[in-house]
């Protein structure tokens, strides 16, 4: 009834691709979030005028298709600057900045959601700016920002498929290689989709879990 040339080895090959997707996504989301927090806090602190140059750069990362960013960054770093770095490094670098551009907006929105009166109350108790940030703003902003951040992380995971352009063999590229060889595109794409689902689903559920845990207040 159903016949496929797919072997266990091919599945392992796909799993390795999925592993690469996870690694690239993990690194980019981690670095992108750290940078995004720094950029977001900076933008909030200094106000729109002084943050304008940073905002402009981040807007570039948000506006230009990732594929173009990857190709241009790769060409710039390897050909113009002459660095001998791997496509993997370029991919992680570009994707991190891309993530940070979105994350900065999420962070800024989260901080702005914390009422200034609450922060005045914290400061009037003698808490410093840093203590207020850590104990009041961060936990409250996180609750507001979390759904958007989860969305961003899931988006980056799927966008990471584009890093094939700099010779990184991740899940979708692995699938394409198999499609070329086995000529079973629909079946292989289904399996590929299943892999994406398996690695995305826990992240999506994590959001629901945290929201439930925080709903006591």
Partner 1 sequence: MIEIENVRKSFGPLEVLKGINLTVQKGEVLTVIGGSGSGKSTLLTCINGLEPIDSGRILVDGIEVHAKTTDLNKLRRKIGIVFQQWNAFPHLTVVENVMLAQVKVLKRSKAEAEAEAVRQLKHVGLSDKLNVYPSRLSGGQQQRMAIARALAMSPDYMLFDEVTSALDPQLVGEVLDTLRMLASEGMTMICVTHEMKFAREVSDRVAFFDKGVMAEIAPPEELFGAPKDPELRKFLAATH
Residues engaged in binding partner 1 (CB under 8 A)? 115, 117-118, 120-128, 131, 135-136, 139-140, 143, 214, 216-217
Q: With respect to partner 1, which residue has the nearer C-beta, 63 or 216?
A: 216
Q: How far is the CB of 171 from partner 1 (least distance, A)?
A: 38
If the CB atoms of residues 83 and 129 are measured against partner 1, the closer one turns out to be: 129
Distance in angstroms (rounded) separating the CA atoms of residues 104 and 61 = 12
Token output for 6: 């797919």
Structure token digits, residue 24? 């690239």
- Give the integer Cα–Cα distance in Å for 166 and 169: 9
Phi, psi of 2, rounded to the nearest 5 degrees: -120, 125
Task: Write the CB contacts of 89 (distance below 8 Å, at least 6 apart in sequence).
Answer: none
Least Å from the CB of residue 152 to partner 1: 22
Among residues 128 and 167, whose Cβ is nearest to partner 1? 128
Residue 84: both structure tokens together: 């001998």
The nearer residue to partner 1, 81 or 125, going by C-beta atoms, is 125
Least distance from C-beta 48 to partner 1, angstroms?
19
């Amino acid at each position: 009834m159903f016949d496929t040339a797919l072997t266990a080895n091919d599945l392992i090959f796909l799993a390795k691709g999925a592993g690469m997707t996870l690694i690239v996504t993990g690194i980019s989301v981690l670095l992108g979030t750290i940078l995004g927090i720094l950029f977001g806090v900076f933008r909030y602190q200094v106000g729109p005028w002084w943050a304008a140059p940073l905002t402009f750069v981040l807007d570039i990362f948000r506006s230009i298709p990732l594929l173009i960013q990857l190709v241009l960054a790769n060409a710039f770093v390897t050909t113009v600057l002459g660095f001998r770095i791997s496509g993997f490094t370029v991919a992680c670098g570009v994707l991190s900045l891309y993530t940070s551009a979105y994350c900065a907006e999420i962070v800024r929105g989260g901080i702005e959601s914390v009422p200034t009166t609450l922060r005045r109350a914290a400061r009037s108790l003698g808490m410093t700016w840093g203590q207020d940030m850590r104990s009041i703003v961060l936990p409250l902003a996180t609750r507001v920002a979390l759904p958007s951040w989860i969305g961003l992380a899931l988006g980056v995971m799927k966008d990471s498929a584009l890093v094939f352009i700099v010779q990184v063999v991740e899940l979708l590229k692995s699938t394409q290689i198999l499609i070329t060889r086995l000529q079973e595109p629909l079946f292989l794409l289904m399996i590929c989709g299943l892999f994406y689902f398996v690695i995305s689903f826990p992240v999506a559920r994590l959001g629901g879990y945290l929201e439930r845990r925080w709903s006591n207040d």
